[in-house]
Each structure stands twice: as structure tokens, then as C-alpha cells.
């Protein structure tokens, strides 16, 4: 595997799913957007960069069976290809996470190029086998998140429809601009996706209007509703699209995938 930090655009669109605030539907969005993209006949790789490993569990990866993980990749012990495993979703592959990842920041703190470990790992021909690579970031602005942002072409920000949403969004947008200025000049904001939207709640509508007024076309038209089936699915080790394809949450993620694909086609035209 080459370790050169190439600036050549690869076939795969590398998208970090990030928000430093927990509980906004970040991992849920990563899992189900990846599943919906795979259902649209796209070949997808999900990289779990969160030490909690919830994305791995949500795609059917048993914690005791994660022999190779993103931790070993960041430590330079294995190549990316050695950690890629099939998920329970056809066309969707996984680089799992383990609790060892929690120690990676301390182990890398004095290492040169520590911010670029993931980017270096992605400089490998196997990446061109995929249409999309989604990176599930931890709920913090940590070295792991910086690695994801330094490696990504763009960022999707899941944003819960709640009172303090814009405050947290401003901090994340400043971080993205800092990463762009210092580590990854090609990084863009793919879009903000509004999650946990409750149409019966005036606050959800107000937050949605405020975010759209602030960011305009950067906000996806699709909103992800509050839906009990979305909440239940992880306990069964499945994306909601496999758990209940017809529920409102599943249908929203299908629309989100279509919207993302449409945006990519528009950029390529």
C-alpha cells in the first residue's frame, strides 16, 4: 500500500458523517444512508471511526469477531483491505471498530502525520471498487474526527431539530473550515440532514426553517422523522431498512440516498 498523500480524486466519494454533539442520529444516519445507497445498487464501504462501535454492531458485526479493525489500520499494523468485511446488507461492506480505538489518540499523540493516518490508509487501489465510503465519526472534535475530515471529500452533518442545534452547528462549521485551511483544502460540506423531526412540534419546524435560512441549499430537502422503528432496529442488529422497510424512517433514508446521488450527478455534469 502506498503511503503517499495523493491529491488525485478517486472514484469513490468519501463522506464523513460528523457532529460533535451526541444523540443527533449520526450513527443511525450513517448506517441507514449506507444501506439505502447499497439498495440503489451502489457499492458502499462504511468505516466505523467511533470507539463505541455502534455502527459495526448495527450492521451485524459481533464484537468478539472483530479481529481486524480500524484501530490496527491507524496504527499501521495492517492494510485497509485486511479489515474490510461484508455486512448483513448486500453491497455494503464494513471496516469495524473496537474499544481499542479509544486509546488511539494517546498512542498517536507524538507520532508525525497523526492527522493523516486514515487518508494514507485510503491511498490504495481497493478504494476504487466502491462508489461511496461513509465514515462514522465519534461525537467529539477529536483526533479521530480530524482523521476522518482530513481523509474525506465532503461532510454530511446530521442535525437534531432541537433548540441548541444552530449553536452546535456553528462550532462544527468552524472546525470544518479549520481542517480545510490546514489539512484538506478540498473538503466541502455535502449537506446538513435534519433528524428526529416531529411535524406535530412547532419547535421542529422553527429549527428547520432557521437552519434552511442559515445554510440554504446546503440543507437536504429530505428530513428524517422521529420514528419508533428507527429506534428499535439497532437492538436487532439491523438497519431500519431491513427491520421495517415500509416505515416512515426507512422511506426517508431512501429519499435521502436518492437526493445524495442526484447531487453527485449534478456535480459531475
- What is the domain-level CATH number for residue 104? 3.40.50.300
Q: What is the mean pLDDT of the chain?
A: 90
- Considering only residues 168 and 26, tell me which one the structure prediction assigns the higher pLDDT: 26
92-95 and 85-86 strand pairing: antiparallel
φ, ψ (nearest 5 deg) of residue 65: -110, 20
Q: Please report whether residue 7 resides in a domain.
A: no
Domain ranges, residue 187? 13-268
H helix or E strand, kind and range, residue 61: none
Buried b / exposed e over 141-172, threshold 16 CB at 10 Å, is: bbbbbbbbbbbbbbbbbbbbbbeebeebbeeb
Residue 4: inside a domain: no
From 202, 201, 152, 193, select the one nearest 175 (Cα to Cα). 152
Higher per-residue pLDDT: 269 or 160: 160
How many other β-carbons are positioned within 10 Å of the β-carbon of residue 95? 27
Which residues does 204 contact at the CB level (< 8 Å), separation at least 6? 161, 196, 197, 198
Number of residues written out for the chain: 269
> For residue 179, which phi and psi values (nearest 5 degrees)?
-60, -40
User: 165 pLDDT exceeds 80?
Assistant: no
Q: pLDDT tens digits, residue range 62-80?
A: 887 788 999 999 999 999 9
In the beta sheet, which residues pair with residue 223?
194
Beta strands (DSSP E) in 89-187 are 92-95, 132-136, 154-160
Distance (Å) of CA 55 to CA 63, 81, 211, 226:
11, 19, 27, 19
**10 Å Cβ neighbour count for 77?**
11
Identify each DSSP E strand in 25-176 by its residue range: 44-48, 85-86, 92-95, 132-136, 154-160
Report the domain count for the chain: 1
Out of 38-42, 43-47, 103-107, 250-254, pick the least confident: 103-107
The sheet with strand 13-17 has its strands ordered as 85-86, 92-95, 44-48, 132-136, 13-17, 154-160, 188-197, 219-225
Residue 1 lies in a domain: no
Confidence of residue 143 (pLDDT cuts 50, 70, 90): very high
CA distance 135 to 45: 8
| 1 band by pLDDT with thresholds 50, 70 and 90 | very low
Tell me 52's DSSP state: T
pLDDT band per the 50, 70, 90 thresholds, residue 5: very low
For 223, the enclosing helix (H) or strand (E) is strand 219-225
**3-state secondary structure at position 113:** coil
Q: What residues form DSSP beta bridges with 94?
A: 46, 85
Amino acid at each position: 500500500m502506498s503511503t503517499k498523500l495523493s491529491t488525485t480524486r478517486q472514484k469513490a466519494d468519501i463522506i464523513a458523517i460528523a457532529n460533535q454533539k451526541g444523540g443527533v442520529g449520526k450513527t443511525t444516519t450513517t448506517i441507514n444512508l449506507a444501506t439505502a445507497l447499497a439498495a440503489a445498487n451502489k457499492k458502499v464501504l462504511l468505516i466505523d471511526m467511533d470507539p463505541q462501535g455502534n455502527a459495526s454492531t448495527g450492521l451485524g458485526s459481533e464484537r468478539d469477531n472483530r479481529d481486524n479493525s480500524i484501530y490496527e489500520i491507524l496504527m499501521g499494523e495492517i492494510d485497509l483491505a485486511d479489515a474490510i468485511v461484508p455486512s448483513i446488507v448486500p453491497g455494503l461492506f464494513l471496516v469495524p471498530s473496537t474499544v481499542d480505538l479509544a486509546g488511539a489518540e494517546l498512542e498517536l499523540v507524538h507520532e508525525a502525520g497523526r492527522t493523516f493516518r486514515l487518508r494514507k490508509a485510503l491511498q490504495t487501489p481497493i478504494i476504487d471498487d466502491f462508489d461511496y465510503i461513509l465514515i462514522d465519526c465519534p461525537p467529539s472534535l477529536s483526533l479521530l474526527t480530524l482523521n476522518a475530515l482530513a481523509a474525506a471529500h465532503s461532510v454530511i452533518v446530521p442535525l437534531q431539530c432541537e433548540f441548541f442545534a444552530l449553536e452546535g452547528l456553528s462550532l462544527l462549521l468552524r472546525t470544518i473550515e479549520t481542517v480545510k485551511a490546514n489539512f484538506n483544502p478540498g473538503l466541502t460540506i455535502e449537506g446538513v440532514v435534519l433528524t428526529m423531526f416531529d411535524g406535530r412540534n412547532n419547535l421542529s419546524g422553527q429549527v428547520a426553517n432557521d437552519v434552511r435560512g442559515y445554510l440554504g441549499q446546503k440543507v437536504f430537502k429530505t428530513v428524517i422523522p422521529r420514528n419508533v422503528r428507527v429506534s428499535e432496529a439497532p437492538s436487532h442488529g439491523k438497519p431500519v431498512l431491513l427491520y421495517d422497510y415500509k416505515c416512515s424512517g426507512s422511506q426517508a433514508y431512501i429519499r435521502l440516498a436518492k437526493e445524495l446521488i442526484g447531487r453527485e450527478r449534478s456535480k459531475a455534469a
